[in-house]
Each structure stands twice: as structure tokens, then as C-alpha cells.
A and B are shown apart, each in its own frame.
Chain A
């Protein structure tokens, strides 16, 4: 079974609008971490935001926020006020703490921001 599922291969958003990138995960562990990364066309993976499984508040980092719904096992990334520089691939990842610290990545969502 897929550990991380990203169902949106590609998305478009108008500049200055908000966009939500979906991510669902599958784990039986009680303790885990959820991460989002951005990968521009240059190839480097840029860490955006982290949410721990025990965190009660949704994580926020600048224009990025994570909509964490534990019962639904979803960890959607919300980007507010989209900018042209946000055009990139976005990956959701999960870390299981009791499994050799392994990370599992989704297949990614390609976001295109239109001017």
C-alpha cells in the first residue's frame, strides 16, 4: 500500500490566489512526522514545513501552512498569495520514527502559477 498519496499530478493557480495541494498518508505508527518539499526545475529539494503527529496546532511558515487532519490522515499544504516563483514540483513526505527514520515520499504535484 502507498504510504503517501498525492492525487493531483498537476495544478494551475492564478498569481496572488491561494492554492491547496493534497496529501494523504498511511501509517499504523502513533509517532510520525509530515514534511513538504518544493523542487524547482533546477532540481534541488527545498524543505518547506513540518508537522509532528502530536502537534495540536497546524504548522505555519510564512505563506505556507499545513492543514493537518489526523483522523482523516491528511496533511494538505496551503500556499497563500501565490507567486510566479512558486511554480515547481511539491512533494509530501512522512517519517516513521520507529522504522529506521525512513522517509516516504509521494509522487508529487506540479504547480503552475499563472500571471
Chain B
């Protein structure tokens, strides 16, 4: 079974804090993704990575950065959290195969006060 884990299910942070969200997958997948999910907007891609140390901006990268030092781990960093970053954050991984789905972690609900 593919497993994607995220470091926290729920997180409460203060405005201005630096926040780290960690994601680990155990299936040796090349591609990893970070999304945020907001009501009525679906999932929006923040960043993705197709190899170690490689990253590409998604549709809404502003205010975020990422790190992929090892193949299995993809971190999302909020350099200075703001209230408009309160959201559900989902990590996913996939192989490069055409019909392969993305496998999602359980999500982290982040509240920035």
C-alpha cells in the first residue's frame, strides 16, 4: 500500500511565525506536490517537485517555499505565516506513469491567528 504521511493533522500558528509542513512518501515516487484546499476553490497547486532538489512553481506559490533534499520527503515552508494562509494543505505523490493517480496524505488543517 502506498503511504503518504503529513507531519500534523492540525496546526495553530501566529501571524509572522515560520511554519514547516512535512510530507513523506514510501513508494519511491519521483513527483511530489503541495496543494491548498479552500471551500469553493477546490485544490490549488502551490509547488511541485519532479526530482530531488528540483522544484517548480504551481499556480499560487506566493508566500510559500519548498524543499526536497531527499526523494521521499517534500517540505512546504511558510516563511512568515499570514491569516490568509489559513487553509487545508494536502501533499501528494505520484510516479510518472500515464494512468497513475496521485496518492494523497491525510491533510493538515492550518489555522493562522
A residues at B contact (CB < 8 Å)? 4, 6, 9, 31, 33, 35, 42-45, 47, 50, 52, 91, 93, 97, 100-108
Q: Chain B: how many interface residues by the 8 Å CB criterion?
A: 27
Given A45-B104, A107-B40, A33 and B99 touching (CB < 8 A)?
yes
Task: Output the nearest chain B residue to A101 by Cβ-Cβ distance.
Answer: B31
The residue in chain A whose Cβ has the minimal distance to the Cβ of B96 is A101
Residues of B participating in the A interface, judged by any CB pair closer than 8 Å: 31, 33, 35, 40-45, 48, 50, 56, 58, 88, 90, 92, 94, 96, 98-99, 101-104, 106-107, 109
A100 touches B42 (CB 8 A): no
Q: Check B107 against A44 for contact (C-beta < 8 Å).
A: yes
Q: In the assembly, what is the distance between CA of A78 and CA of B110, in Å? A: 33
From B107, which residue of chain A is reached at the shortest CB distance?
Answer: A43
The CA-CA distance from A103 to B48 in the complex, in Å, is 10
Known: A44-B106, A45-B104. A106 touches B99 (CB 8 A): no
- Residue pairs across A and B with CB atoms within 8 Å: the count is 56
Known contacts being A106-B42, A107-B40, is A101 close to B99, with CB within 8 Å? no
Beyond the given pairs A45-B102, A93-B102, 5 more chain A to chain B contacts, judged by CB atoms under 8 angstroms and listed by A's residue number, are A35-B101, A43-B107, A44-B107, A100-B56, A103-B45
Contact residue among B40, B43, B50 (Cβ-Cβ distance under 8 Å from A91)? B43
Cβ–Cβ contact A102 & B98, under 8 A: no
Rank and list the top 9 A-B pairs by shortest CB-CB distance, nearest first: A45-B104, A105-B43, A107-B42, A47-B101, A43-B107, A105-B42, A50-B99, A108-B42, A44-B106
Decide: B50 and A101 in contact? CB cutoff 8 A. yes
The residue that A9 contacts in the complex, of B40, B88, B92, B102, with Cβ under 8 A, is: B40
